[in-house]
Structure 1
Amino acid sequence: MTNTTLFKTVALTASVLLLGACGKTDNSAPKAAQEPASSAIAAVDGARILAADKEPGNWMTHGRTYDEQRYSPLKQINDGNAKQLGLDWYFDFPTNRGIEATPIVVDGVMYVTGSWSMVFALDARSGETLWQYDPQVPTNWAVNLCCDVVNRGVAVWKGNVFVGTLDGRLIALDAEDGSVLWEVKTTPKDKPYSITGAPRVVKGKVVIGNGGSELGVRGYVSAYDAESGEMAWRFYTVPGNPEEEFENPILEKAASTWGGGEWWKAGGGGTVWDSMAYDAELDLLYIGVGNGAPWNRQIRSPDGGDNLFLSSIVALRPDTGEYVWHYQTTPGETWDYTATQHMILADLKIGDQQRKVIMQAPKNGFFYVLDRATGEFISAEKYTKATWASHVDPETGRPVENPEARYTDGKPHLVAPHPAGGHNWHPMSFSPDTGLVYIPAQENLMAYMHDSQYEYDPKSWNVGVNLAAAGLPENDPAVREAFMPTIRGHISAWDPVSQKEVWRVQHPNMWNGGMLSTAGNLLFQGNADGELVAYRADNGESLWSTNAHTGIVAAPISYAVDGEQYIAVAAGWGGVGALSLGEIISDAKGTANNSRVLVYKLGSDKTLPASAVAERALPEPPPLDADEATLTQGHALYMANCHMCHGDRAVSASSVPDLRYMSKEKHAMWDGIVLGGALQAKGMVGFWERLTKEESDAIHAYIIKRAHDVVEAASTGAP
């Protein structure tokens, strides 16, 4: 049987079974969502997503439903039998970089993305490959990414599969065989934009944002016709040059909140790089907006101001992109506190009133509950350590800041959270059974310090923060050892009505995976230590765990085929935490990368292949003959140009090479690699346009020094 024939058999059989159980169409759906699906394969439309609870065996959109609750009504697997879970099948991705995708499962077929924006269609019963598609992203585009060559998944609609690529394309594939139907470039070719987020399809429009704030871009979100690929509308999230015509009247008002400076030269930031949600009854599309470019408002907007719509939730009309309302979580953002984190819609009884709310735990450490019809502030409380503000004023909905947190005096200031956030992109989950939101929270902090040497550079990072001061101290092991235990993560089971934590599961490491809750009173999460764990959703008791042989950062899903419920997760250690945080998380047990889809069901007992752990020989670095001034310069240049891929203090906690262990041959090739781009085919571009030979030599001297540190530590038995 060919893959195509098998595909048709899988999809058509399951489609008949599941569509027959759907019942009547929800008449509250918009007219555009009522149209019948055009294909029996990936036959998803708005009506079907709105009626998702009538066919709980499918996971048809990123958060399963438009409200993005990430809750499965399936309960064959429950708190009474979860310990009987076992591996049923697995699929090996052809790469070993970070995996962040949420699989989509429709009528027995799974659609999932891997690294480098690759797309795979798998038989959801067996894991057999039905087709795969590689968009051939240029490897040299990796230099334009802050956070690994990851992708968070596809959208499916009326027989099509949609994926955004790292180099800014939106591609429509035929769900039957993976052939390209249309392709559009959604970002300018001459700007370092990227796409890592999953598209959403609303009323026949594919909605996609982008990333790249730190590299000097201007944020926006776009909608494309799902059938033709023609752009329907675009909404810019920050104003452009005030001397030019504004694309939208609301941007003129937004421009009045930017004070002084020429922010538009560095783009301003505000990229819409991850979360969205949709309310069909209100006909509102919600987008989350990112940080400023540069981060430091003192540089970006020296006269102050809120800098709209940075760090905001914005409600738009999905037909036109028309602005309806916004709420800004971090006015005058200056810490990389994005509001792109997962947003959840729910109906909650608050006081004596039933409220339609939108909930978010953005990077800044506060959990927000807003009226999703109007944007009215309802409540906000800290869900993790946050020192930048004491509280959010209940009357104004504005934070009451710690003045020193803005680091305007040229001195370093320890501020929590870190730019990695109290919560990053890893999805939350809401259970209507328990009434709790489950947050993959993080505890961290960083020394923020104004960069007095900052100059806008379109080919480099534009943060306006002294990154050398922000990393772990070079020459003070005692400070490092005291600091590192404060960086960790936890599950916070959060009551959004009373705004308090009900229970917590503490993790030893940060950068743990997203959440799934189910009607079986279960909560699933993968973690940095390479485990997938099932907890009781009501009290956090651990019921089952399994060794995934890799750190897990993506969120699990649940689906059913032929009466069997499955738990699936796309596993593979990576992302910005794994790449950039160095020794803070390098001791995580799951830091090896074995990129796979892992699928479990009751009674299965398959095993994963043994995970080969490569033993690293002690480095044999060249002689260290640089003076302290050169090493200090090299450290600063390394942090400004290299640490986002190779880790703080050149400690790699990912599959990207640990530069401390470079071979003699690689040291000899330093200029050819770093300046000449000899390893461009592997994603390591040449930096000849960014670095002088003298600067490259200083970085090399610093790497040689760090290699000698490894040798010295081995000889003394130090960690």
Structure 2
Amino acid sequence: MTKDNVGQLQLKWAFAFPNATRSRAQPVVTPEVVFTGSQDGTIYALDSDNGCPLWTFNADGEVRGSLFVDTDDEGVPETILFGDFTAHAYAVNAQTGELLWKTKVHDHEAAIVTGSVIAHEDTLIVPLSSLEVILASRTDYQCCTFRGALVALSISTGEELWRTHTTDRPRPTILSSAGTQQYGPSGAPIWASPTIDAERNLVYAGTGENYSSPANEYSDAVLAMDLDSGELIWSAQLTRDDAWNGACSRNAPNCPEEDGPDYDIGTSPILTQDENGRDIIMVGQKSGMVYALNPDNGGLIWEQRAGSGGTMGGIHYGMSANAEKLFVGVSDLPTNNPYNVGPSHPGIHAFRPSTGDILWRRDLSNQCEESRFLCWHGISAAVSSTDELVFAGGLDGILRAFDADNGDILWETTTLQDFGAPNGIEARGGAIEADGPIVVNGKVYVTSGYDKWNEAPGNVLLVYSLNGE
């Protein structure tokens, strides 16, 4: 697929998820099978030619992250690995859907897995987040006792190998103004996929804000841990003193004294080389800032602003890069966050990896017939790129292909519509949120539909190919 023929993209097939109002598990594509999770916890193996189900497996909870496909020595899919909303990790036979093992990875009642798991050799790395940030809005809730973590499991057995938390164990601190016991430190969840650095034997992860006081040094930070032991090797905090939970949006008693900006790191750290051959880590933040770090020690190489920031981003989910350019989607949703800086720039930005210089910026405009919140045109979902093209899906449901050299829009289509699906389920697209499009062998795969924060619900996985072939 090139900039010359991308305009020929047409819908090849659509798959409708039953009993779903959101679709945000990025698919994994192999030559013959597309594997994906869903809102009701069903794992699907779909025929890559037509989207017809080959087998299904039912997890205990919603599967939001992408699946990891472990292959045999011949490259044939062998094991499907993933986590769910009940904080379980699973291994499933890729050929049959048979359960191989299931492991509970966190015992907190609100713990969840939202980020994609990642594997290296026989080690599976699972990021841990939670819903406690929302539960804390209740006046009678004793906030907060969850703490983020990376957990390493054996791919062969599901046995835990190591665990590293992002805060010390929470302890009683003060009573809230409503007389409810408070605990801290807490939070610093890891809700994006970690990144493996096999050369340095490290795994990198970005964290979110603390849920309660005191804020610690590992929130809103990039952490580097030893792959064999989980030992923390270095940390780079991008925003200090960020303690926040859902109570702060309502001026409720459980809001911590910091009342921070809620500037999580929701993007997976990108480990790459710049155009000079130097290894760098690049990471985006809900603050609207992009950072380049030294992978040896976490030292800052450069920082650059892409958007004004906000509770929903700023830079919400993933970025994409090659040696010459870093591509960043900016949401800049108007959430009245008092910490936001400067004008909003919803759209796509391209930076030079070696210096952080802005190469181009493509601000997007509202093409929705309505002006409601669900029509916001920013890019919250992760973006994907090839040498010539950048693909991004908007909160308004529009999927676009941009020229990687200058940001010109070369192709676009709306997913906010009804589709025909081979499984006979009513199919409709909506907002494109969290997981973005992926490009494999001349085809573009994207999920559409998200029912939170007044965005447009939907339940489809869409596949586009040149001339629909």
Interval of TM-score (by shorter of Structure 1 and Structure 2)? 0.7 to 0.9
Deviation at 1:242, TM superposition (A): 7.8
Partner of 1:311: 220
Structure 1 CA distance, aligned partners of 2:211 and 2:233? 25
**RMSD (Å) for aligned C-alpha atoms:** 2.5
Percent identical residues? 26
8 Å CA contact 2:226, 2:232 repeated in 1: yes
SS in 1 for 2:227: coil
8 Å CA contact 1:311, 1:340 repeated in 2: no
1:176 to 95, 114, 130: 95
1:85 maps onto 2:9 in alignment: yes
Structure 2 CA distance, aligned partners of 1:505 and 1:235? 40
1:464-503 to 2 correspondences below 5 Å: 489-503=346-360
CA-to-partner distance for each residue in 1:62-104, whole Å, 9 max, x for gaps? xxxxxxxxxxxxxxx1111111111111211113322222211
8 Å CA contact 1:116, 1:166 repeated in 2: no
Deviation at 1:359, TM superposition (A): 0.3
1:414-493 to 2 correspondences below 5 Å: 417-425=309-317, 427-432=318-323, 435-444=324-333, 446=335, 489-493=346-350
8 Å CA contact 1:97, 1:595 repeated in 2: yes
Structure 2 CA distance, aligned partners of 1:274 and 1:183? 21
- Compared CA separation, residues 182 and 233, structure 1 to 2 (3 A): same
8 Å CA contact 2:286, 2:312 repeated in 1: yes
1:204 maps onto 2:122 in alignment: yes
Partner of 1:513: 381
CA-to-partner distance for each residue in 1:206-262, whole Å, 9 max, x for gaps? 11122125143111110110010100000011112589xxxxxxxxxxxxxxxxxx9
Deviation at 1:518, TM superposition (A): 1.1
8 Å CA contact 2:279, 2:295 repeated in 1: yes
Partner of 1:544: 411
Hey, which of these two has a bigger chunk of strand by percent?
A: 2
Structure 2 CA distance, aligned partners of 1:289 and 1:573? 23
8 Å CA contact 1:344, 1:358 repeated in 2: yes
Paired letter, 2:209: N
- Compared CA separation, residues 512 and 270, structure 1 to 2 (3 A): closer
SS in 1 for 2:40: helix
Deviation at 1:447, TM superposition (A): 5.1
Structure 2 CA distance, aligned partners of 1:501 and 1:442? 17
Paired letter, 1:568: Y
1:97 to 7, 15, 21: 21
Structure 2 CA distance, aligned partners of 1:604 and 1:447? 42
* TM-score normalised by length of structure 2: 0.80
Deviation at 1:446, TM superposition (A): 5.0
Deviation at 1:268, TM superposition (A): 1.0
1:324 maps onto 2:237 in alignment: no
Partner of 1:160: 79
- The number of residue pairs the alignment matches comes to 401
Hey, which of these two has a bigger chunk of helix by percent?
A: 1
> Greater CA deviation, 99-108 or 368-377?
99-108
Structure 2 CA distance, aligned partners of 1:120 and 1:180? 13
Structure 2 CA distance, aligned partners of 1:198 and 1:487? 29
Deviation at 1:201, TM superposition (A): 0.8
Deviation at 1:150, TM superposition (A): 6.0
8 Å CA contact 1:116, 1:165 repeated in 2: no
CA-to-partner distance for each residue in 1:512-560, whole Å, 9 max, x for gaps? 43211113x1111121222221111111111112222222222111223
Structure 1 CA distance, aligned partners of 2:155 and 2:181? 34
* TM-score normalised by length of structure 1: 0.53
Paired letter, 1:380: E
CA-to-partner distance for each residue in 1:497-525, whole Å, 9 max, x for gaps? 33232222223323543211113x11111
Deviation at 1:119, TM superposition (A): 1.2
CA-to-partner distance for each residue in 1:642-682, whole Å, 9 max, x for gaps? xxxxxxxxxxxxxxxxxxxxxxxxxxxxxxxxxxxxxxxxx
- Compared CA separation, residues 311 and 237, structure 1 to 2 (3 A): same
- Compared CA separation, residues 364 and 529, structure 1 to 2 (3 A): closer
1:344 maps onto 2:265 in alignment: no
1:233-382 to 2 correspondences below 5 Å: 233-240=162-169, 265-266=183-184, 268-294=186-212, 300-301=213-214, 307-333=216-242, 334-349=260-275, 354-382=277-305
Structure 2 CA distance, aligned partners of 1:267 and 1:597? 40
